[in-house]
Amino acid sequence: MMKLTGAEIVVECLKEQGVDTVFGYPGGTILNIYDALYKHSDEIHHILTSHEQGASHAADGYARATGKVGVCLATSGPGATNLVTGIATAQMDSVPMVAITANVAVDLLGRDTFQEVDIAGVVMPITKHSFIVKDVTQLADTLRRAFRIAIEGRPGPVLVDITKDVTAVETEYTPQKPAPVLPKVNTIKEADIENAVKLIERSKRPFIFVGGGVVISGASEELREFVEKVDAPVADTLMGKGAYPGEDARYTGMVGMHGTKTSNLGITKSDLLITIGARFSDRVTGNTKRFARDAKILHIDVDAAEINKNVKTEASVIGDAKAVLKILNDRLTKQDHHEWVAEIEEMKEKHPLTYDHEMLTGPFVVETLYKLTGGDAIVTTDVGQHQMWAAQFYKYKKPRTFITSGGLGTMGYGLGAAMGAKTGCPDVPVFNIAGDGCFRMNMNEVATAARYNIPVIEIVINNHVLGMVRQWQTLFYGKRYSSTIIQDKVDFVKVAEAMGAKGIRVTKKEEVEPAIKEAMAAGGPVVIDVQIDCDDKVFPMVAPGGAIAEAFNQEDLDKKEGN
């Protein structure tokens, strides 16, 4: 036992939890904590981002890449509110993150004091839990609870707001080793397992559909064994990429609005949809009344609230995906669905992903990146067309190698996430694939990457428009391009160089490979500005309100117009 200030207790609790890196931005109310961090800079590395939002995305990317809790810090008022988008991003995608903010002193709360915001109240709907600490004797236990809540069960962000006076006063502190956080298994019921086994063994056309829960639970090996046992094709969500190897013959690609025709048609024709760690998002299901209508749905998820929330299920097993799959693998006899698997294989041959090979396009850039990395890289993305191309045309071999904002769809997410991922996994190449609209939102973080020499490679798919919104305007709004054209004089190569990074411009197909090779050899942050056509589109696509079986591509549109 020892006497420490609240600020010193924060640092000691971070060390207890095994935190080696934090991302943040100092200010008046959090100065005591930063002063304590200064004294422990050899144990906890602090990365000063250009903006608090960048810190929250970096903590998120660190958490997704490593599986550990990501930590970000901000001062009160605007510092704290600048974390909100990153906190909401982490909440939607079940990312374990602890955001530590400081507030004005207890006697100044509720008085509209300078830089006072009730941040614990603001983030209540977008966190697993939020705390405000007004008593230093409660501080250590609150921080310990925050880390446990963030990682336990279905992960998510937790915010701890600490008043400035609490960071200054002393109290007794006793070090404590964190208790191990065990997988959630007490909810797995024998009757549910028996029901699941019966459904699987009676099925003739099973389809396995995996989401981010498989990645979070570390269930990839169990999933591979399960797929072999069931003898079924496998599709994934955006968040589930890498849970099952994208190079495997059974893999059919992503499901949903920009999923492959094979995945969408296969699910529609299946008689049993085995869904593991996915929440049936609207972007996955399309019209829910017409989603997998001929299939019974078996839903395996750690969160009971997800069962029957969006889609009615026949049966469910609630619990950690890894634990559930282990039990099912032990119980199941080897199934044989060779005719169904052959039918799916025919679909894959009939409906491959395609793009225009004559032009410099987003898919060509992504395929070239895959060829040069062999799939051994971490790919982060921003949100839009480039994100879908990164999901479609890069084959993810392992979990935690595709990092993207799925649920919230946060433009400006990718560069901060890439810095966090690279900090957590320094020996793995990290690429952020962005659009020019997204890059503009948080490109100030290039300066952060340059300051710390974090060798992330930013590939900007630059079409001088807000590409995904323009695609919708083209298809559904009569080509009325309201506020989506960004034809201006911003030069991303000069911007990169001005912030201390290397800049490379690409305007032809033959320049893509040399540019990526040059960036990989640079040893520091690089921005590659790839200029593509403004009307390059993401296909297949499901129209809003449509069934996923009605996915269409340019060829389908041409036929329709020809008729």
Contact 331, 226 (CB under 8 A): no
Flag whether pLDDT at 470 surpasses 80: yes
- Compute the C-alpha angle 377/418/21, nearest 5°: 110
Provide the number of structural domains found in the chain: 3
Residue 557 in domain: no
Q: Tell me, what's the pLDDT at 559?
A: 87
- Rounded mean pLDDT of 313-336? 98
**88 alpha-carbon distance from chain centroid:** 12
Q: Which domain holds residue 200?
A: 190-350
* 379 phi, psi to nearest 5 deg: -110, 120
Q: Are 366 and 342 part of one and the same domain?
A: no
529 SS3 class: strand
Residues carrying an active site annotation: 52, 114-115, 164, 468
CA–CA dist 208, 229 (Å, integer): 12
Residue 183 in domain: no
Residue 542 in domain: no
Pairing state between β 170-173 and 2-5: antiparallel
Q: Tell me, what's the pLDDT at 563?
A: 56
Q: Which residue has the higher pLDDT, 203 or 487?
A: 203
Q: Are 380 and 527 part of one and the same domain?
A: yes
Q: Tell me, what's the pLDDT at 328?
A: 98
CA–CA dist 93, 61 (Å, integer): 11
Q: Tell me, what's the pLDDT at 232?
A: 98
Place of tokens 């109310």: 29
Listed in sequence order, the residues at least 6 apart from 145 whose beta carbon sits closer than 8 Å to its beta carbon are 129, 131
Q: Are 164 and 221 part of one and the same domain?
A: no
Q: Give residue-wise pLDDT tens across range 23-57.
A: 999 999 999 999 999 999 999 999 999 999 999 99
- Side-chain-facing half-sphere of 486: CA atoms under 13 Å: 19
Q: Are 334 and 419 part of one and the same domain?
A: no
Residue 185 in domain: no
What CATH code is carried by the domain that includes residue 20?
3.40.50.970
- Rounded mean pLDDT of 211-226? 98
- Side-chain-facing half-sphere of 305: CA atoms under 13 Å: 2
- Side-chain-facing half-sphere of 522: CA atoms under 13 Å: 26
What CATH code is carried by the domain that includes residue 335?
3.40.50.1220
Q: Tell me, what's the pLDDT at 275?
A: 98
Flag whether pLDDT at 562 surpasses 90: no
Report the share of the chain in percent with pLDDT over 70.
100
Closest C-alpha among 423, 450, 215 to residue 321: 215
552: β partners: 541
Q: Are 393 and 343 part of one and the same domain?
A: no
- Rounded mean pLDDT of 1-20? 96
Contact 390, 404 (CB under 8 A): yes
CA–CA dist 220, 466 (Å, integer): 35
Residue 178 in domain: no
Q: Are 242 and 381 part of one and the same domain?
A: no
Confidence category of residue 379, pLDDT binned at 50, 70, 90: very high
- Rounded mean pLDDT of 232-240? 98
CA–CA dist 189, 17 (Å, integer): 32
Q: Are 388 and 454 part of one and the same domain?
A: yes
Q: Are 275 and 379 part of one and the same domain?
A: no
Per DSSP, the residues of 69-119 read: PEEEEE-STHHHHTTHHHHHHHHHTT--EEEEEEE--GGGTTTT-TT---H
160: tokens are 């701890």
Domain end call among 173, 202, 229: 173
Q: Are 497 and 456 part of one and the same domain?
A: yes
Residue 38 in domain: yes
Place of tokens 């595709």: 402
Domain end call among 303, 319, 350: 350
Q: Are 337 and 486 part of one and the same domain?
A: no
Place of tokens 């201390």: 500
Q: Tell me, what's the pLDDT at 487?
A: 87
- Rounded mean pLDDT of 348-377? 97
Q: Give residue-wise pLDDT tens across range 275-316.
A: 999 999 999 999 999 999 999 999 999 999 999 999 999 999
- Rounded mean pLDDT of 369-384? 98
Q: Tell me, what's the pLDDT at 561?
A: 79
Mean pLDDT of the chain: 97
Q: Are 47 and 133 part of one and the same domain?
A: yes
- DSSP conformational letter for 357: T
Q: Tell me, what's the pLDDT at 416?
A: 98
Provide the b/e sequence for 405-443 (b: ≥16 CB within 10 Å). Answer: bbbbbbbbbbbbbbbbbbbbbeeebbbbbbbbbbbbbbb
Q: Are 205 and 301 part of one and the same domain?
A: yes
Residue 527 in domain: yes
Closest C-alpha among 120, 160, 164 to residue 144: 160
Residue 555 in domain: no
Domain end call among 117, 148, 173: 173
Place of tokens 């904590």: 33
Q: Give residue-wise pLDDT tens across range 120-130.
A: 999 999 999 99
